[in-house]
Structure formats: C-alpha cells, structure tokens
C-alpha cells in the first residue's frame, strides 16, 4: 500500500466512530478579509511528523480552478489535508468545492500533488498549532 493510501486509510479510520457516525467539533482558526477556515478538531490525526485534519473554508469572492479543460467556480470548500511537518508541505487527500448555493461543483483527489506551505495561510496556521515543536 502506498504511503498516500495508508494516510487516507488512517485518516478515515480515525474519523469513524463505533456507531458509524462522524463526530464534528468545528473551530474557526483562520479569519482574514479574504476568507474563514474551520478545522474539525475531532478529525485531527497525529502520526510521526504528520498532522491530518478536515477543513471547511468559505471565501468572500468566487475562486476558480481549471480541471479537465474546464473552469470551475466555487466559494466554499471541504478538504481533508495532510501536513508533513518536517518538509513543510501539505497535500489535499480530498477536496470538495461548492457554489454559494451549496451545489457541489467538483470533487478532487490529488493526494500525490504536494504543495509548499506558504506563510500566513490556513495550512501554516495548522502546522504551527499542531506540528510537534522542535526540542
């Protein structure tokens, strides 16, 4: 099993409860004029050097993404992210993009697409809060 698939399986297992329901404990952790992001604290999974979490984001203006030769517009996203604390990179294990009216526009699985953590972003805030502190 690849490392990415193992991470997805571990995150999914951590989200399930005995009754099959998913616990949710949303906390607003990133608020700026350009948007707000919530982390589900019950979704946090800690592995050596990694943090996985569910994030919901709302953007004040339309965001655009090019996929399959088509432009998709969205204002909300629900993401499962995995942060590599040492490498300072993250990946979207899953990403669901929604319109203002709540209609799903696109679902993306780019777990192998590694992105650099940029300063003053939701991923940077999560890494600072939840990654192990250097000794």
Identify the weakest region by mean pLDDT among 8-12, 41-45, 65-69, 76-80.
8-12
Break the chain into its structural domains and give their ranges: 3-130
At 58, give phi and psi (nearest 5°): -125, 130
pLDDT greater at residue 10 or residue 113: 113
Q: How far is CA 108 from CA 7, 40, 91, 92, 132, in A?
A: 16, 20, 11, 8, 29
In sequence order, what are the residues at sequence separation of 6 or more whose Cβ sits closer than 8 angstroms to the Cβ of residue 50? 7, 82, 83, 84, 85
Is the Cα dihedral 91, 53, 27, 89 positive or negative? negative
In the 8-state DSSP scheme, what is residue 102?
A: S
* Residue 58 predicted with pLDDT over 70: yes
Are the C-beta atoms of residues 77 and 106 closer than 8 Å to each other?
no
Query: CATH topology for 3-130?
Result: Lipocalin (2.40.128)
Tell me: pLDDT of 116 over 50: yes
* pLDDT, tens digit, 9 for 90 and up, residues 66-85: 888 999 999 999 999 999 99
- Rounded to two decimals, the pTM is 0.74
For residues 27 and 114, give the distance between their C-alpha atoms in angstroms, rounded to a whole number. 25
Predicted confidence at residue 81, as pLDDT, reads 95
* pLDDT at site 22: 57
């Amino acid at each position: 099993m690849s490392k990415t698939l193992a991470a997805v399986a571990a995150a999914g297992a951590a989200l399930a409860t005995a009754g099959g329901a998913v616990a949710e404990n949303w906390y607003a952790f990133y608020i700026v004029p350009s948007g707000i992001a919530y982390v589900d604290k019950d979704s946090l999974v800690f592995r050596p050097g990694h943090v996985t979490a569910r994030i919901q984001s709302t953007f004040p203006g339309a965001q655009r993404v090019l996929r399959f030769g088509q432009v998709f517009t969205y204002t909300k996203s629900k993401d499962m992210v995995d942060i590599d604390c040492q490498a300072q990179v993250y990946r979207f294990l899953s990403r669901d993009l929604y319109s203002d009216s709540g209609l799903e526009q696109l679902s993306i699985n780019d777990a192998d697409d590694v992105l650099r953590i940029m300063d003053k972003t939701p991923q940077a805030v999560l890494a600072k809060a939840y990654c192990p502190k250097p000794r």
